[in-house]
A and B are shown apart, each in its own frame.
Chain A
Amino acid sequence: MSEPVVGFGAPIRLEYNYTPGSASSRYLRSIAEGRIVGQRCPNCEKVYVPPRGSCPTCAVPTAEEVELAHTGTITTFCVVNLSFYKEIEPPYVCASILLDGADIALFHLIQEVPEGREVTMGMRVEAVWVDESELAPTLESIKYFRPTGEPDASYDSYKEHL
């Protein structure tokens, strides 16, 4: 009898052409300039990043652009123990980061966590960008966020954004 097969790789691959639309295109172009630009709702004044061109709560266009800081607060996070990307050795942390001045958290990678320090809710972080020559209209232009060393933000400062 032949040696039976136990299993085989069966990847499912979906090839899309992604068109982000005008609001997200402007946001991605700002990333290519090393800036993070959101949009403010004229009604509830929430600042969305990435902007989608309208406020999902108030259903009105969000025309006003707001440049955001490159620092923020981790609102929540997870520890990734499986290898998805060859470049990053697990375990590593992915976190929701509320940029200073924003009302919506971005999801990004956390790196350069000092030895003996654990990632926590409220941890203050800053963006680490690729070299200026490598800036492109993609969030990969921000390599990751790293702790700033500032004291943790108080729970009250981000509890509305969880």
Chain B
Amino acid sequence: MAETVETQTAGLSAPHVLEYPYTRSVGPVIGRFLGGLRDRKIEGIRTKDGRVLVPPAEYDPVTSEALSEFVEVGQAGVVKTWAWVSEPRPKHPLDRPFAWALIQLDGADTALLHAIDAGDESKMSTGMRVQVRWREETVGMITDIECFEPEAAS
């Protein structure tokens, strides 16, 4: 009987999932950037002082003017800073240990946040060169870049 009472008074517990089905409108500039990714090219935008922002911004961060001069940049670049993820979470881009990194692509003046599939933390260093690994099927999202990989790997 004691066991029954125990069971009767024990609290319940259940998974509870909240999901908000948002659609995100990206605007004309990021829209063009994502459209470029679908065609496997990476475009930045030129500011009034001549710098190239990747990913592109709609307005000049210095003068606040609207920007419109798109510039295609390289598909490889330099790691500016990085953090190693030894235990990837379910929603992470890779299912094995990887690095989050800020990557300055050739021809760009700012860095893009993405994942690097380096295999091991010892392979990572600030200043290392990495290149894009495209997803087999591209749809116009940042994940069309599956990840970056050390340039020597090719």
A interface residues, Cβ below 8 angstroms from B: 1-22, 24-26, 28-29, 137-138
Closest Cβ neighbor of A24 among chain B residues: B12
Q: Is B64 an interface residue (CB 8 A)?
A: no
Contact with A along B23-62 (1 / 0, CB 8 A): 1111010111011101101000000000000000000000
Say whether chain B's binding surface is mostly helix, strand, loop, or mixed. Answer: mixed
A17-B15, A19-B11, A25-B11 known; A3+B21 contact, CB < 8 A: no
Identify which of B8, B12, B22 gathers the most chain A CB atoms within 10 Å of its CB: B12
A1-B32, A2-B39, A17-B13 known; A8+B18 contact, CB < 8 A: no
In the complex, A63 Cα to B31 Cα: how many Å?
Answer: 59
Determine whether the beta carbon of B12 is less than 8 Å from that of A2: no
Q: Number of B residues whose C-beta is below 8 Å from A?
A: 31
> How far apart are B75's CB and chain A's nearest CB, in angstroms?
15
Determine whether the beta carbon of B41 is less than 8 Å from that of A137: no
Closest Cβ neighbor of B31 among chain A residues: A4
Closest Cβ neighbor of A21 among chain B residues: B11
In the complex, A28 Cα to B35 Cα: how many Å?
Answer: 50
Q: Is B123 an interface residue (CB 8 A)?
A: no
Q: Is B17 an interface residue (CB 8 A)?
A: yes
Instruction: List 9 A-B pairs, minimum CB-CB distance, nearest first.
Output: A2-B35, A4-B31, A18-B16, A5-B34, A5-B140, A10-B24, A25-B12, A16-B16, A4-B35
Determine whether the beta carbon of B17 is less than 8 Å from that of A14: yes
A19-B12, A25-B10 known; A9+B22 contact, CB < 8 A: yes
> How far apart are B134's CB and chain A's nearest CB, in angstroms?
14
Q: Is B83 an interface residue (CB 8 A)?
A: no
In the complex, A19 Cα to B23 Cα: how many Å?
Answer: 31
